[in-house]
Every structure is written in structure tokens, then in C-alpha cells.
Amino acid sequence: MIDVIVAGGGPTGIMLACELRLHGVSVVVLEKEAGPTEIVRPLGMHARTIEVLDQRGLAGRFLEAGKTYPLGGFFAAITKPSPTKLDTTHPYVLGLPQPITLRLLTEHAIDVGVDIRRACDVVGFEQNDDGVSVGLADGSTLDSRYLVGCDGGRSTVRKLLGVEFPGESATQETLLGELELSAAPETISAVNAEVRETQLRFGAGPLASGRYRVVVPADGVVEDRTAPPSLDEFKKQLIATAGTDFGAHSPRWLSRFSDATRLADHYRVGRVLLAGDAAHVHPPLGGQGLNLGVQDAFNLGWKLAAEINGWAPSGLLDTYEAERHPVAADVLDSTRAQTVLMSLEPGGQAVRRLMAELMDFEEVNRYLIEKIIAIGIRYDFGEGHQLLGRRLRDLALSRGSVYQLMHGGRGLLLDQTGKLSAAGWTDRVDHVVDTSEELDVAAVLLRPDGHVVWVGDDQHDLNEKLTQWFGQPS
């Protein structure tokens, strides 16, 4: 029997599969598409996602393939300088088209032994106390201990599971595409600048070989958003918005997206779980979608592996929903607010002007950017030290750095005293005695996802937290 079947071979599903393989869990990824998509929606990664990759020793290959940009302007496209001294070693956005991100993740997944099967469409499943039987479109079945739906906003797994997906239906739609434009580059640049003074849902950005990535408001909302727009529809909307179609021709791909905003009521029912867009959809404002999904996978992977490997404490797997559902709700509220701020209505424009004034205060600008890049997240672990519940950035140690110690996906006891012990949990937790000028506490206990679950110097308290998060000692 397979340990975990992941439905969906996008960044969320592949990241989850990689995390599971890190712990020896057998994984099969079922992707309904026969090959990778050419459509480029997400264009990059924010700081926390780069940190996630850094914690597994993967960030270098992504940084080499992309380009870094300042963080200013990512909240509702309000142009402000990047906040200074952000609590991360990656204070930038990494420009990297989704197909490249997915290719790099997939290459790593294959290296670590993930079984990826394309043109495999999940059409049904049945679960009991022992596992899940998954039915495929070709009539075959696969049996697994768990099933995770990472199959997008129209998730088959979520629908079959009967989980409600409340929220708001689409009220506006936007066309997106990669095309060649015959107009002179200086003309395109001038029109782009003029139109964007009032219409922030429009843009024409140059790519390689004379192509442009173009985004333009659609004329209403179509019933079937899976159907791409035609070139004629795209050109018509360019004329309506910018007064010209720029001589658009030879599209490489065309697509559409909406402002639909929904959040699943639950992320888990029995042995079936949801992650990424299968659990939440929202407009792409701030570039948070891919990042939110990958971070879901990073939270879930080690917990599901612990359950399968038999050492998970009671209730550990349920903390996935308890922690990630509020994070998604906050992202949805952020995109709702940004939608209002980008509206052409007088009320929305008035609020935008006020927000622009408030963002001149460093504290406000920092707070909003930390939301976008997800380094301000604090899980509710109860009262305690200010680090409790937060992820720890990559602190420099006397020998290396914190993230270099986390490539194996295990817990980490970073002990500056040399007097503590993780005896009994050494199969799950690495005990490292080292010091950092950037850490002003005696010791910290980190989960495999880098979040701090304990701060202090008392061995009895430490043992309680080791048991709470890593199960009974062996």
C-alpha cells in the first residue's frame, strides 16, 4: 500500500511530496495533465517561501534561475520603498516564472524518489479507518494510507469529500497572456505608464524575444473560466482599456482569472486532506497564492510523515488545519482589502490615498509587507516568549547557520548552554550546541518547519515540549 497519494502535481503537491520523502514516506503524485503548462501566472517567490527552500538546502538553485527585486509596491501596488532591516536573510522578491519553479521542484522530487504519474485523473475515492481507495479515470484504483488534494481551486478531491467552500463569487475578471506586440517599445511604455495612473489591472511588460506579458480587464465574467479568451477578445479589451491593441498577435498562451475568494471549511476529513488552492482561492494581488500553497505543504509534510511513521503525538495532524486555516483567512482578507484599494470607484480611491499616507510611516509599511511575504506569521502556542510560535530566521552561528542544520527535516534543539539534552528523541530531533550573537536566549526548540515551540533553559520544561511536539521518547 502507498503511504500517501497526492492529487495534483503543481508546486504545492510536489513540495508536499518532497517533504514526505525526506522522512522515508512512499508517495505517488497523480497529475491529470499530460505535460507541464506553458501558462505563467505566479511570477515569483516571497521571503518565507525562499526560507522554506533554504531550510532544505534548495534555495541556491532557485536563486540562480531567477532575479531578485525590491519589495516596495507589493501591497495594492502602492509604491513605497522596501522596509529596512526586515527579519529575514532574503529581503526581496525572487522573480521566477511558475513553470521554472515547478520544473526545479519536480527535478528535486524525482531525485528523492517521488513517483509522479501524469495523465492520471482522480475521479473518486472511498476511505475507511485503515486507508483510502482512489479511483482513476481509466477505471483503475490505487490504495493508500492517506490522500491529499492539491488539485487546485476546482478541486475534485474537495468536492468528493463534501467540504463546503464558502466565500464570494467572481465579480470581475482579468485577461492575462503572453503575446507579440507590433507597436514600438517606446509607444507601449508610454501608453502603459499613462493607463496605469488610473487602471492598475492593466499592464504590458516586456519579455524575451519581443514578447510581452499583458494583463487587461475583461468585459464582465464568463461562466466557464477554464476556457481561455480568444485573441480577438483580448485585442478588443486592450482597445477598450488602452485605446490600442498594440498590434497584438501570435499569442503563446492566453488565460483569465477572477476575484473569486473562497476558503474551505475544513482541511481534513478522516484520512483525506486539502492544501493549496484546493483549500483556498483569492485574487493574485500581492503575489501570495503559490507562496501560501507551498507553505501549507511545508507545515503539513512533517506532521503527516510523523503520523505514518508512528511517532506523532495525539492531535499533531490536526494542528495543520488549526494553524494554516487562520493564515489563509488572513491572506483572503488582505486580497479583499487590496481589491478595494485598486478599485476605480471614488470610495476605493479615497481609501487608497489614505492608505498611501499611512504607509509613509515605517511601522505601517513594514507591517503590511511582512503580511505579504509571510514572515510575520505567529502560530498560537499559548503565552510565552516573543519568539514562541514564530519561525526563526537563518541566524549565523559560530559554525555555519541555523538553516544549514535543518536540511534533513528534523526538529532542532539549538543549545547555547551545552547543559541540555534531547536524549530519547535523537531519532527525531538534532541537538546542536552552538552560539549566535543574534540569539539572546539560552536555547530554542524548533519544529522541522522552523517554528519555535520552546524557549528557555529548564530541562523539565524542555522534556514536556519534546513530548508535546515529537511524541514519547524512544
Angle, CA of 42, 46 and 49, to the nearest 5°: 95
List, in sequence order, the alpha helices (H) in 179-288.
185-195, 231-242
Q: What are phi and psi of 380, to 5 degrees?
A: -85, 95
Stretch 346-352: mean pLDDT: 93
Using CA of residue 134, residue 140, residue 144, residue 148, what is the dihedral sign? negative
Confidence of residue 12 (pLDDT cuts 50, 70, 90): very high
- Is 107 buried (19+), middle (13-18) or exposed (0-12) by CB count in 10 A? exposed
Q: What are phi and psi of 248, to 5 degrees?
A: -65, 135
Between 221 and 18, whose confidence is greater? 18
Closest alpha carbon to 182 in 115, 250, 232:
250
CB-CB neighbours of 162 under 10 Å: 9
Between 330 and 85, whose confidence is greater? 330
Domains and CATH numbers, the chain: 2-167+262-373 (3.50.50.60), 173-258 (3.30.70.2450), 403-470 (3.40.30.120)
Beta strands in 360-463 (DSSP E): 411-415, 429-433, 443-446, 452-455
Sheet holding 249-258, edge to edge: 203-206, 211-217, 173-180, 249-258
Q: Are 140 and 118 in contact (CB under 8 A)?
A: no
Confidence of residue 75 (pLDDT cuts 50, 70, 90): very high
Q: What is the pLDDT of residue 74?
A: 85
Q: State how far the Cα of 229 lies from the Cα of 225, in Å rounded to an integer.
A: 9
Stretch 443-451: mean pLDDT: 98
Closest alpha carbon to 87 in 348, 392, 447:
392
The strand pair at 115-118 and 27-31 is best described as parallel
Sheet holding 67-69, edge to edge: 44-45, 93-95, 67-69
Three-state DSSP class for residue 66: coil
Q: What is the pLDDT of residue 198?
A: 87
C-alpha count within 13 angstroms, C-beta hemisphere, residue 402: 31
pLDDT, tens digit, 9 for 90 and up, residues 368-396:
999 999 999 999 999 999 999 999 999 99
Q: What is the pLDDT of residue 44?
A: 87
CB-CB neighbours of 152 under 10 Å: 20
Q: Would the pLDDT of 38 be above 80?
A: no
Confidence of residue 10 (pLDDT cuts 50, 70, 90): very high
CB-CB neighbours of 164 under 10 Å: 11
State pTM to two decimals. Answer: 0.95
Q: Are 297 and 12 in contact (CB under 8 A)?
A: yes
pLDDT, tens digit, 9 for 90 and up, residues 395-437:
999 999 999 999 999 999 999 999 999 999 999 999 999 999 9
Q: What are phi and psi of 381, to 5 degrees?
A: -105, 15
Confidence of residue 285 (pLDDT cuts 50, 70, 90): confident
Torsion of CA 95, 99, 100, 101, to 10 degrees: 70
Residue type, 240: A
List, in sequence order, the alpha helices (H) in 163-215.
185-195
Cell numbers given for 199: 487602471
Residue type, 13: G
Cell numbers given for 242: 488602452
The CA–CA distances, whole Å, from 25 to 146, 190, 266, 320, 377 equal: 11, 54, 24, 18, 28
Q: State how far the Cα of 172 lies from the Cα of 405, in Å rounded to an integer.
A: 46
